[in-house]
Amino acid sequence: MDAEAIKQSLEGSGLRCTPQRYAVMAFLMEHNRHPTAAEIFEAVNRADPRSSRATTYNNLRDLVQAGLVREVAVEGRAARFDVKGMRHHHFICDRCGEVEDMAWYDVPKPAKGSLGKRIVRECELIFRGLCTKCAPRRASG
């Protein structure tokens, strides 16, 4: 599909467009479910070329570092991965652990504890960055 676009975005981030890395990226874009590393590893190995588990993890780490992919931690389950496209929120199912995207503009109008057919138990803002201990000091210190 947008093979060239994938190549562009990889190389634009200083990553070679290797077959294995391309396969990870393509799989994530094609299925915008939120697969685990293990699912991605399996999927890319159903097609050629084969990729080892280490490579799958390496590539996911590289893609996350490059800002092309987001890792979503889920309690008690394997992390899930998500191409970073439009800004969006996440919905995580208590029972199956599935992670769903929720459009940014859909979020402000939740009605009575539900969003569509979902049942929302809790909702939490998570900030990520550097804590006061880790943030670089200003020149005054």
Residues near a copy of itself (CB under 8 A) = 71-76, 79, 89-96, 98, 100, 102, 107, 115-135
Residue 117 interface partner, choices a copy of itself, DNA, none, CB cut-off 5-8 Å depending on type? a copy of itself
Residue where the block lists tokens 């995207």? 101
For 36, list phi and psi in degrees, rounded to 5.
Answer: -80, 170
For the bound state, the minimum distance from the C-beta of residue 48 to a copy of itself, rounded and expressed in Å, comes to 30
Q: 46 vs 121, which CB is nearer to a copy of itself? A: 121
Interface map 38-77 toward DNA (x if CB under 7 A): x----------xxxxxxx-xxx-xx-------------xx
Number of residues counted as binding DNA (CB under 7 A): 25
For 50-54, the CB contacts below 8 A with 24+ separation are: 51/20, 51/23, 51/24
Residue 62 interface partner, choices DNA, a copy of itself, none, CB cut-off 5-8 Å depending on type? DNA
| Paired tokens of 99 | 């992670």
Residues pairing with 103 in the sheet: 88
> Residue type at 128?
R
Cα 64 from Cα 122, distance rounded (Å): 27
Interface map 94-123 toward DNA (x if CB under 7 A): ------------------------------
Cα 27 from Cα 126, distance rounded (Å): 27
Residue where the block lists tokens 């990553």? 15
Q: Which spans of this chain sit near DNA (rule: CB under 7 A)?
A: 15-16, 18-21, 36-38, 49-55, 57-59, 61-62, 76-79
